[in-house]
Amino acid sequence: MTAGRPDVTLGPVSFYSPGQTAEKTGFSLDTLRYYEKIGLLGEIDRTAAGRRRFSEDDIGWLGMLRCLRETGMPIADMLRFSELARDGDDETIPDRIALLEAHDRYVEERMVTLRAQQRHIQDKIRYYRDLVAGT
């Protein structure tokens, strides 16, 4: 369970246990199961005993999901993106690009307003500082 190094117990490819995957990706075990259940992950490989084995690709995909999630994309949109990607169909690539570009613009806009709001906060700090200074 110690993190990082993949299990190679079954075959030539590297696999990660759910616990390792949670540690590597920052998602909780429950969230990993949840993401699989709702279709963000497709079917995850299983051992003979039915336990999940995450591949390097899965880890990479989880990284993308984490990025989208943390930049504020709703699960519903991530689901759309996942479905496009899962189809693997090259015809879906323009759609995937469009989706990511829209999100990129969203993130850009968010940073702009965030900067403005930060200025507002800093103004307020300065205002309070001046109050103290002028006492």
Q: Using the rule CB under 7 A, which residue among 29, 67, 97, 98 binds DNA?
A: 29
Q: Between the CA of residue 38 and those of 10, 12, 70, 113, 126, what are the distances in Å? A: 27, 30, 18, 32, 47
| Cβ contact 107:71 at 8 Å | yes
**Is residue 101 close enough to count as binding a second copy by CB under 8 A?**
yes
- The CA distance from 69 to 21, in Å, is 17
Q: Using the rule CB under 7 A, which residue among 15, 52, 58, 81 binds DNA?
A: 52
**Is residue 29 close enough to count as binding a second copy by CB under 8 A?**
no
Residues in 66-125 that interact with DNA by CB under 7 A: 69, 74-76
- The CA distance from 77 to 106, in Å, is 13
- The CA distance from 65 to 79, in Å, is 10
Tokens for 44, please give them.
């995850």
For a second copy, the binding residues (CB under 8 A) are 63-64, 67-68, 70-71, 90, 93-94, 96-97, 100-101, 103-104, 107-108, 110-111, 113-115, 117-118, 120-122, 124-125, 128-129, 131-132, 135
For DNA, the binding residues (CB under 7 A) are 1, 9, 17-20, 22, 28-31, 33-34, 46-52, 69, 74-76
